[in-house]
């Protein structure tokens, strides 16, 4: 039986230029894919950056409004605290009663404000603060946050402590029967003082007439006044930094 051998096919090797062209095409395809992905990430980053700075601007505007409000409340409250000091210093002159016409506003008015910094904390925790890189705005954001969590927070804590001391001494020395009546009338009126039909102040008779304790109450009013004065400076500086940051954000991101 005769065996027939198939002739072997001999392939000619590709010219080196063809290999070079194929390699070049692969390189171009990979490079274009890399640039396309980088462009997509860049566009996404810029979109995130814009959204963050818009949210940050809204937060800063809210902070500045609250700083302004707190400053006004402190200034409005100052004469009432001064009157409380004289009331506690000369209790017999007031028939041993802490008069409601100045003490009620002190108990009702909140002069304490601390910004939440929610957007800044989100930027930091998510690692997206790196996106805010125009004209050192990111650095200035950290500067604002550092001031709030540093000197501002210390002033805030001291004011809270001074306020707590004043209220604690009132708790110890005063009769709250009139205060309790005021609270009940407020609840009946829907907790809205304007529905009571008239401005209502509650007196707080002194049940303890110890001169040393009364002197502590008078001093606590002075301390509260003093820490309020210090907090005004902190509020003004925080407002100044927030306002400057808003201005720079508007300029760099063409926002109004």
Domain membership of residue 3 (yes or no) is no
pLDDT tens-place values along the chain, 256 residues long? 455 555 555 556 666 666 566 666 666 656 655 554 554 444 455 677 788 888 899 999 999 999 999 999 999 999 999 999 999 999 999 999 999 999 999 998 888 899 999 988 888 888 777 777 776 888 889 999 999 999 999 999 999 999 999 999 999 999 999 889 888 887 666 655 555 444 578 999 999 999 999 999 999 999 999 999 999 999 999 999 999 999 988 888 877 7
* Residue 241 domain-assigned (yes or no): yes
- pLDDT of amino acid 243: 95
For 58-72, b where at least 16 C-beta lie within 10 A, e where not — what string? ebbeebbebbeebbe
Specify the pTM.
Answer: 0.78
Q: Assess if residue 10 is contained within a domain.
A: no
Does 7 fall in a domain? Answer: no
Residue 11 lies in a domain: no
Look at residue 9 and tell me if it is in a domain: no
- Residue bearing tokens 């997206």: 128
> What's the domain count of the chain?
1
Provide the CB-side half-sphere exposure for 139 (13 A, CA).
Answer: 3
Is residue 249 in some structural domain?
yes
Whether 209 maps to a domain, the answer reads yes
Domain boundaries, position 136: 17-253
């Amino acid at each position: 039986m005769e065996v027939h051998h198939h002739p072997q096919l001999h392939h000619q090797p590709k010219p080196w230029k063809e290999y070079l062209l194929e390699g070049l095409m692969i390189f171009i395809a990979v490079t274009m894919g890399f640039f396309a992905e980088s462009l997509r990430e860049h566009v996404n980053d810029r979109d995130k950056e814009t959204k963050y700075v818009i949210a940050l601007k809204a937060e800063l505007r809210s902070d500045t409004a609250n700083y302004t409000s707190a400053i006004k409340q402190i200034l409005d409250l100052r004469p009432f605290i001064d009157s409380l000091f004289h009331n506690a210093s000369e209790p017999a002159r007031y028939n041993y009663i802490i008069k409601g016409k100045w003490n009620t506003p002190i108990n009702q008015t909140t002069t304490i404000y601390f910004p939440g910094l929610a957007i800044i904390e989100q930027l930091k925790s998510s690692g997206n603060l790196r996106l805010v890189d125009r004209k050192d705005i990111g650095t200035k954001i950290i500067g604002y946050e550092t001031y709030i969590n540093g000197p501002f927070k210390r002033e805030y804590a001291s004011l809270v402590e001074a306020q707590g001391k004043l209220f604690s001494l009132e708790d110890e020395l005063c009769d709250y029967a009139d205060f309790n009546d005021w609270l009940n009338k407020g609840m009946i009126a829907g907790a809205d003082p304007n529905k009571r039909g008239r401005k209502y102040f509650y007196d707080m008779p002194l049940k303890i007439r110890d001169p040393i304790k009364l002197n502590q109450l008078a001093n606590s009013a002075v301390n509260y006044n003093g820490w309020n004065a210090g907090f005004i400076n902190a509020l003004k500086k925080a407002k100044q930094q927030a306002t400057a940051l808003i201005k720079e954000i508007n300029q760099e991101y063409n926002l109004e």
